[in-house]
Structure 1
Amino acid sequence: MEQEAVKKVIEENYPIRVIEVVKLKNIYKVICPNEQYCLKTIKYNFGHFFFIISAMKHLYENNFEGSIPIIKTIANKDYIEIKSCFAYLIPWKEARIGNYDNILDIISAAEVLAKLHIKSRGFKVTENMNPRIGWFKWIETFRTRKDEILDFKKRILDKDIKSEFDYMYLVEIEQEVLRAERAISNLLSSEYVQIMEKHIKTNGFCHHDFAHHNLLFADKKIYVIDFDYCILDTHLHDLASLILRSLKNGRWNIKGAEMILNKYSSINEVEEEEIPVIAAFMEFPQDFWQVGIQYYWEKHPWGEEFFINKLSKILDDREDKQEFVGELRKYKMGG
């Protein structure tokens, strides 16, 4: 049994007695006589995995209050190998997850994110790390993704029998490619490169998946978990994503963005010239591209109805989002 094998590996590597192991997605809840732990597995190459746990340790050692300490093995290591994966053990937190439908949670998230970015500064990349790197790459990444949307079009046209999703997606491609080109143009006309030259000197990193379910409210703190997508990049990447996650699905309004920006900026200052960069990042049709990747390249078996519903939500939201992005681009910090 899988759980028994995991239990055995844990007891061989940590000075704990395990009563039960419960698998929950890509983690294991480890139940012991007097405490509980979380064993997090990651199926990356060692260099990438080592970068992730090194970033987590950097935050903890820098006294980031949202950190959960990694528990050392009997051999004084930060990780173990298990089932062709690497894994680390942390204390289990009985908590509620964040809720981006709740304005108080959103403001708290902005505060924690700003503190995370400040505490990430001074991170040293070593030779045995293989990190994701986003510095200076947004323009090229957006161009590549625009070309991938055009590849989805070719795949649709090459089909003898087209699905309902194919027809829905195909009819929107031209408009979304124009939106992508507009985002690229706006990024090029911003001070993106100059800002990256300034930000890269801080040697910081981004969480890169600051979703509500990666925030644990417990012990009168907010713990940040799941650094699997951690990336070396400007903090504006995470900040733009938080605004996007908080306001999508019909909640686009400049007042909501203002609250997030003001809270974040009260801890980690947002400069005037950075606003157009955030706006351009949000303008790119990332969700339209992503559902195409999932359907045409990754071929996830989620069913036609799932993809149709997902695409419908994206299309219903896009005009309000575009109007919001136009407003945000002209927004003046403190104005």
Structure 2
Amino acid sequence: MGSGPQPGQVLDQALRMYAWHLRKVTKVRGAFRVQTEADTFALKPVRVKRQRLSFLQKVNTHLDDHNYTHVLPWLKAKNGERYYADETVAFYATPWFGAEWTPNASLSEKRIIQSLADLHRLTENAGFGTGGAEPQFKETVRRWNDQKEQVEHYAEKARKRTYPSPFDTAFLNHVDELVHAASFALNGLKRLSEYDARKPFRRVFCHRRIHRHNLLVLGDDWKWIDFDHGGWDVPMKDLALFFQRFPPKGETPPEILESWLKAYEATLPLSPREKQWFCIFIAYPDRVIKWLNRYYGHDGSVNELFYVQELEQEIRCFQQLKQFAKHVWPKKREKRQKVSTP
């Protein structure tokens, strides 16, 4: 939908659609906090077409019908619609709720991951029609291959420097481990993708952008938000993202990670092949590579100490997850589709 609508276009159309009497509007990340005389709402502009919004609204309604309490309902407008979309403007609105989750919140990670499992369980085999894009495994294989080559390029660049920076040194100390992990994950994903083509893994509705920014907390309640990229996918995708993005800074004991996985599987057990896929995803150094891209792709001076600290933190997290993947890798594997452990 191009570069997206201007804020004034969205607000003007929303005022007509919801009959709001405005008091104040504030931009908060990718949404507007709309305070009216009666209440406060979140207005979310999106760059998707009507068919996509229709699909997402059906998912939202399905979850509400099945008493899933961890998503926000889309508001119904004067005309009965729960979203708006034309050639230039698309949006939906929800009640305003809480604040972003932080590790200091009283809400435990185990309860959060249980709600993720419930989301997947309730949408397995649900019929929502078209609009929920299927996972692009070949695209992930291509992206991972490009990233592995980029890591090797960064290493070559760092080695050629007469005076390596502290970041270069920290990176080169671990480059062999990173390349090996990326190669393992890439080869494993290729094999499991081939298996999926013959005997597809189950699909559920996945958020696909699991992140603490997309989890709001209010007291003892919480809501997942920003499902704009959601669609049919393997449940391991969301699960792996949770493990990569929710661990607190510092070392996370393996028994904590194992308790998270058990909490998820209490609701939605994974098959051995699904668990292999999960292990491959968490053993891939995605977040480390993002920091490499930020540093080596940055023009001009950088805060060297900050970048080194962030890189070392992400490397520690990656190493923890890699060890955890080895620990939970299924012991029984079919001989015809054997994938080595990480």
Q: TM-score, normalised by structure 1?
A: 0.77
Residue 73 of structure 1 aligns with which residue? Answer: 77
Q: Within the alignment, does 1:111 sit opposite 2:106 as a pair? A: no
| Aligned-residue offset at 1:293 | 3.4
Distance 1:28 1:101, change over 3 A: same
SS of the counterpart of 1:20? strand
- Change beyond 3 A, Cα 1:269–1:168: closer
- 3-state DSSP of counterpart to 1:118: helix
Choose from 193, 196, 207 the match for 2:195.
Answer: 193
Deviation string 1:93-114 (CA, Å, 9 cap, x unpaired) is: 2x25434466852111111001
Equivalent residue, structure 1, for 2:338: none
1:90 aligns with 2:78: no
| Aligned partners of 2:206 and 2:232 also within 8 Å | yes
Contact 1:123 1:204 in 2 (8 A): no
Which residue identity lines up with residue 199 of structure 1 in the other structure? F
C-alpha displacement of 1:235: 0.5
Q: Name the CA distance, whole Å, in 1 between partners of 2:299 and 2:270.
A: 38
The answer on whether the counterparts of 2:53 and 2:83 sit within 8 Å (CA) in structure 1 is no
Matched positions, count: 325
Q: Distance between the aligned counterparts of 1:304 and 1:30, measured in 2?
A: 37
Distance 1:78-1:233 versus aligned 2 partners, 3 A rule: same
Residue in structure 1 matched with residue 3 of structure 2 by the alignment: none
Distance, in Å, in 2 between the alignment partners of 1:163 and 1:52 is 47
Equivalent position SS for 2:204 = coil
8 Å contact kept, 2:257–2:324: no
- Residue 7 (structure 2) pairs with residue 21 (structure 1): no
In structure 2, list runs of 5 or more residues that go unmatched.
1-5, 333-342
Among 32, 39, 52, the alignment partner of 2:36 is 32
Distance 1:141 1:232 in 2: 20
Greater displacement, 280-289 / 5-14: 5-14
**How far off its partner does 1:191 sit?**
9.4
Question: Deviation at 1:90?
Answer: 0.7
Cα distance change of structure 1 residues 304 and 85 upon mapping to structure 2, 3 Å threshold: farther
Name the structure 1 match of 2:207: 207
d(CA) in 1 for partners of 2:307, 2:40: 38
Residues 117 and 204 in structure 1, CA contact (< 8 A), matched pair in contact too:
yes
Segment of structure 1 superposing worse, 108-117 or 153-162: 153-162
For 2:16, give the aligned amino acid.
E
User: Aligned-pair RMSD on alpha carbons?
Assistant: 4.0
2:177 aligns with one of 163, 169, 175: 175
Whether the aligned pair in 1 keeps the contact of 2:207 and 2:227 (CA below 8 Å) is yes
Determine the structure 1 residue equivalent to 2:315.
315
1:291 matched to which residue of 2? 291
Q: Indicate conservation of the 8 Å contact 2:137/2:193, yes or no.
A: no
Q: Check the 8 A contact 1:6/1:82 in 2, yes or no.
A: no
Q: Compute the TM-score of the two structures, normalised by the length of structure 2.
A: 0.76
Shift of 1:64: 2.5
Q: 1:131 aligned to 2:133?
A: yes
Contact 1:207 1:227 survives alignment (8 Å): yes
- Residue number in structure 2 paired with 1:235: 235
For residues 249-288 of structure 1, what are the alpha-carbon distances to aligned partners after superposition, in whole Å with 9 as ceiling and x for unaligned?
4434331122112221222122344333222211111112
SS across alignment from 2:205: coil
Q: Distance in 1 between matches of 2:299 and 2:86?
A: 26
Is the deviation greater in 110-119 or in 9-18? 9-18
What's the CA shift string for 1:157-213, capped at 9, x where partnerless? 89999865456545643431112112334556779835993434xx42211222233
- In the alignment, the residues of structure 2 paired with residue 330 and residue 100 of structure 1 have an alpha-carbon distance, to the nearest angstrom, of 30
1:67 Cα deviation after fit: 2.2
Per the alignment, in what secondary structure is the counterpart of residue 267 of structure 1? coil
Distance (whole Å) between structure 1 residues aligned to residue 328 and residue 176 of structure 2: 24
Equivalent position SS for 1:199:
coil
- d(CA) in 2 for partners of 1:74 and 1:160? 67
Q: Which moved more, 1:214-223 or 1:80-89?
A: 80-89
Residue type at the aligned position of 2:254: I
Identity value in percent: 19
Once residues 301 and 229 of structure 1 are traced to their aligned partners in structure 2, the CA distance between those partners, rounded to angstroms, is 33
> In structure 2, how many angstroms separate the alpha carbons of the residues matched to 1:250 and 1:238?
22
Secondary structure of the 1:110 match is helix
Cα–Cα, structure 1 residues 37 and 191, in superposed 2: closer, same or farther, change >3 Å? closer
Change (3 A) 1:303 1:27: farther
2:15 counterpart (11, 28, 31): 11
Distance 1:243 1:168, change over 3 A: closer
SS in 2 for 1:229: coil
